[in-house]
Amino acid sequence: MRRKDLLLSVTGILVFGFVMALVGGCGGGGGGTTISAPSIVGTWWLTGGKYANGQLWNLQDRNIEYVRVIINANGTCDRYDASCGMAEVHETAEWVYVEPDNKWIINQGTAHEGELWFRNSRLEYKQDNEWSYFVKTETRNDNCPTTVGTLEKIEPLPGGDFAWPYYLYTPSSVSQQTETHLLVMPNNTGYTSDDPAVHEEAARQLIMRYEDHAEKLGAPLLVPTFPRPHTNWRIYTHALDRDTLLTDDVGLQRIDLQLIAMIDDARDRLGTAAGTAQVSIAPQILMDGFSASGMFVNRFAVLHPELVEAAAVGSPGGWPIAPVSEWEQETLRYPIGVADLNEVAGEAFQLEAFRSVPLLFYIGDADTNDSVPYTDGYDPVDKELVFRLFGETPLARWPIAEQIYQAAGCSAQFVTYPGVGHEVSPQMTSDVEAFLKSHM
């Protein structure tokens, strides 16, 4: 089924978040059979994969941006403007696909183009041999869309302290009466490109995907749009690696300091906004990141612990930076450890300040993603040292990293999630939100 044809059928059954404003109310579903697979009943948002962040190809052309599916316990599938056929679930349900007549069929079989699968506790969508996925979420009202806040793109000023735009989402749940924290999630495109627009779009998708994150926390969300160059690919900006701190490339110098300037700019904007949009922001920030973004969060907290209230670090590229200068009589230079932080960043490691930063490290026990063997992330000498001292896989190193953090007196939790690969599971998201909320 081609995209155009599929789009016509998908729009007949999917729930779209902004349609509420167009139709002025919620529609009901038709009758259906009783569902015997309760794990599929609920509300699902398109949140990840190739067509991520609630966007499915060019749905903007139809003035539709967010995709939501609700499957009810009576077998109906809701949408806002009309009922949309029924969902049939069998005892051995493993996958879901959409027929042209807008009917949900849930059964066993092999994935084909344009099908939705129910597996790994989520709906997964296949198109052009690429996967997107829907994640079940809690909503304020199971039949109506959640309230959305304001998303802005802030451009840098000529001669200013940051060279790249950043995105700022102000949630509708933010309180003007109570001080809150700014939540910072570093951008991670996942690959190199010399086109800044590529990284800006990836950052925009990231912040849209985590708008609900910000709403639940009642915290404005900042995502930078730092590039990750292809020409000079060893500068792994999105991981805040050694080359990133040392580069003299125009626009890429000390992006950690550029991020601080963005944070200051966002705080000023939120505090001086007109009318009821004024928000009082605490001096310290919350941080959250996964994969390369998790590496950035971990390393930023080491570089600037006085600025961080709490940080969640997911699957940080195979090795969380050790808050020590040596281990087993071996010197640990940045980013393995902090022995030469003064040389690469111009300031020695502030251990006492770092000890006061609550940290949540999390990873799936099936996660094999590892940046240590790759020269854009670690120099060969660093790879050899990590393999020799800490192990050859991320999971082998995990308990040793925990031991180092404990020995250094840090406030750090290390959590492993069974059956999870290199992805952020719904349970991870829930736990991260609870962790950050507890430190607001």
CA dist 107 and 93 (Å) reads: 5
Structural domains in the chain?
3-136 (no CATH), 150-437 (3.40.50.1820)
pLDDT number for residue 178:
82
pLDDT number for residue 208:
77
The helix or strand, by DSSP H or E, that contains position 44, with its residue range, turns out to be: strand 42-49
CA dist 408 and 339 (Å) reads: 14
Collapsing DSSP to helix, strand or coil, 435 comes out as helix
pLDDT number for residue 141:
32
Task: Kindly state the DSSP code that residue 321 receives in the 8-state scheme.
Answer: P
Residue 21: left (phi > 0), alpha (psi -120 to 50), or beta?
Answer: alpha
Q: What is the mean pLDDT of each run of 10 residues along the chain (440 residues)?
A: 31 28 24 35 45 32 36 38 25 33 37 47 52 47 47 94 96 82 96 94 85 89 97 96 96 98 96 65 96 98 98 98 97 98 96 98 96 96 97 98 98 96 90 96
**Opening angle at CA 299, ends 284 and 261, nearest 5:** 50
The helix or strand, by DSSP H or E, that contains position 268, with its residue range, turns out to be: helix 255-272
Side-chain half-sphere of 178: how many Cα atoms within 13 Å?
10
Q: Are the C-beta atoms of 321 and 296 separated by less than 8 Å?
A: no
Collapsing DSSP to helix, strand or coil, 354 comes out as helix
- Tell me the pTM: 0.71
pLDDT number for residue 405:
98
Side-chain half-sphere of 42: how many Cα atoms within 13 Å?
17
Q: Are the C-beta atoms of 96 and 104 separated by less than 8 Å?
A: yes
Collapsing DSSP to helix, strand or coil, 87 comes out as strand
Residue found under tokens 């961080």: 308
pLDDT number for residue 192:
94
